Structure 1
Amino acid sequence: MKAQGISSFVIGSSVVYQTLLMAVIGATLGLIFTLLTALYLPAKVPFAFSWELIGITMVLMIVFAVLGGLLSVRQIVRIDPSQAIS
């Protein structure tokens, strides 16, 4: 994309947006599957469910995913377009 003349800002914001979207979708699916699992577990299985812990974990997962995406944006900004093609 950089070789096509697209600015680093557009590429970077696209990467961050896609990372954020995928992290939110992943965290939401994880929550849904956790709730479904809790519904179908037998009563004998000890299972503690803390909304605070789940909320904090989901937020931290999303934050760390975006931070990881920012690391790749840093690499994208630094790379030379001619080097990216080869």
Structure 2
Amino acid sequence: MSQSFTPADVATHNNAEKGMYIIIDNTVYDVTKFADEHPGGAKILKRVAGKDASKQFWKYHNESVLKKYSPKLKIGDVKEAAKL
């Protein structure tokens, strides 16, 4: 089930203990368990945890990466009212 998050909600999930959430194009992903599998290493995901990582993501990935991992990692969307 998909949930709605504010950027502030996502920001509280910025480490492995609280869970690591990232935003990509207003979609929220839980990368906590994926961090160790990430081909670029866990360090990069830890750096963007709790933040909008859209710019960094698109710099190194294409649409096929989201299609592959979205079913496993997507947990919700950023609330419409919370967008800046």
Q: TM-score, normalized by length of structure 2?
A: 0.28
Higher helix share: 1
Q: As a proportion of its length, which structure holds more strand?
A: 2
Q: Which has the larger radius of gyration?
A: 1
